[in-house]
Amino acid sequence: MDLKQLNAFITIATLQSFSAAASSTGLSQPSLSRLLKQLELELGVTLIDRYHRPLRLTDAGQFFYDKVRTLLTELETVTSMTQRLVAPRSALNIGFVPSVLYGLLPDIIATMKRHDPTIAVNLKDISSYQQIEALKRGDIDVGFSRFSHCDGWIQQILLRHERYMVALPKAHALAQTPDQRLLDLVNNRLILYHQTHLPAHIIHDSGSSITDKKANVTDIETEPLLNLFAQHGVTPLMTTKVSDLQVALGLIAAGEGITLVPASLQTVRTEQISYQNLVNDNVTSPIYLHTLKDVVHPRVPDLLAATYKVYEQRGMTYQRQRFV
Ligand code: BEZ
């Protein structure tokens, strides 16, 4: 069994057609058919039902396809990481989710550059899950996001927990009320803006309200803001999902609802939006730094040092962590 046969099988199975696989790989249809036949003979298993149009995987073929695809993706990651080990390192490519840009990221980069003006940095706005794939591909060297990831290739450092605040339209009855409770907000339309949902392993036990049918149960478990309300035993009566944080703040400015945002957002659109503290415990959003385990850009420790320096200058609470 060799890589040529495996790649031929994966392409034929993905495109469900010999002719499409031939155009995609540049191999002739008879060559692809021969590679597939050799693989099936070696395995002693029929992988693809050739009598079905479009082509269909057999049950054994589906199992083999899922496993081999994962292995080939891993092989690509290993290949690209091995090449990066000897490639000269230039600019530090930083991926970030938009909410951290409103906070300390500009200050952290300025601090790092003050320490060493020769450091070149590229910034890429990229969602939390996409950061993990981008790290493996080598598109970014480090990612800042608000979600924990469990992946054998990735190491993560929890930088700190940032408090959520409630964002309300300036004309809202609660707009001037400091120290609010989640319970007081449930009759408002809650604007949901997270693109990334919580993975199953960090879902908290939220007690009886999880079975409340006012919102979709899966959403309550995995949507970050709904999960936060559920942890405090309450469920918002109405929700609206939007594509990102900027749209959410636009809707709030237009008086269409309320939301919770990390405290660093409280300087945005202040003519139209009022930001108030929440008194509930643990209403926070974590900030993580992610990087590969085995190939760390030499400037990443400088970036972490600059982050801690900014925290110290601002008297912020955090727990220093190290790379493995
Ligand atoms: C922070 O707000 O703690 C932060 C933001 C961006 C990068 C690192 C940390």
Domains in the chain with CATH codes: 3-80 (1.10.10.10), 92-160+285-313 (3.40.190.10), 163-284 (3.40.190.10)
- Which of 108, 105, 87 lies closest to 97 in space, CA to CA? 105
Say what the pLDDT of residue 216 is: 58
CB–CB of 173/183 below 8 Å? Answer: no
> pTM of the predicted model, to two decimals?
0.79
Tell which wins on pLDDT, 80 or 97: 97
Report how far ligand 1's centroid is from the alpha carbon of 105 (Å).
5
| Residue 257 beta carbon below 6 angstroms from any ligand 1 atom | no
| Residue 105 beta carbon below 6 angstroms from any ligand 1 atom | yes
Whether 207 shows a pLDDT value over 50: the answer reads no
Say what the pLDDT of residue 196 is: 75
Q: What is the share, in percent, of the chain residues with pLDDT greater than 90?
A: 74
Say what the pLDDT of residue 137 is: 87
| Residue 143 beta carbon below 6 angstroms from any ligand 1 atom | no
Average pLDDT over residues 156-168: 96
Specify the pairing of strand 259-262 against strand 154-169: antiparallel
Whether 212 shows a pLDDT value over 90: the answer reads no
CB–CB of 98/246 below 8 Å? Answer: yes
What band does 238 get if pLDDT is binned at 50, 70 and 90?
very high
Q: What is the residue with the minimal CA distance to atom 6 of ligand 1?
A: 105
What band does 197 get if pLDDT is binned at 50, 70 and 90?
confident
Report how far ligand 1's centroid is from the alpha carbon of 134 (Å).
19
Q: What angle do CA 22, 25, 30 make, to 5 degrees?
A: 40
Whether 191 shows a pLDDT value over 80: the answer reads yes
Whether 37 shows a pLDDT value over 70: the answer reads yes
Q: What is the share, in percent, of the chain residues with pLDDT greater than 70?
A: 92
Say what the pLDDT of residue 129 is: 86
Report how far ligand 1's centroid is from the alpha carbon of 56 (Å).
48
Average pLDDT over residues 80-88: 79
| Residue 103 beta carbon below 6 angstroms from any ligand 1 atom | yes
Whether 120 shows a pLDDT value over 60: the answer reads yes
| Residue 307 beta carbon below 6 angstroms from any ligand 1 atom | yes
What band does 208 get if pLDDT is binned at 50, 70 and 90?
very low
| Residue 97 beta carbon below 6 angstroms from any ligand 1 atom | no
| Residue 288 beta carbon below 6 angstroms from any ligand 1 atom | no
What band does 213 get if pLDDT is binned at 50, 70 and 90?
very low
Average pLDDT over residues 232-241: 94
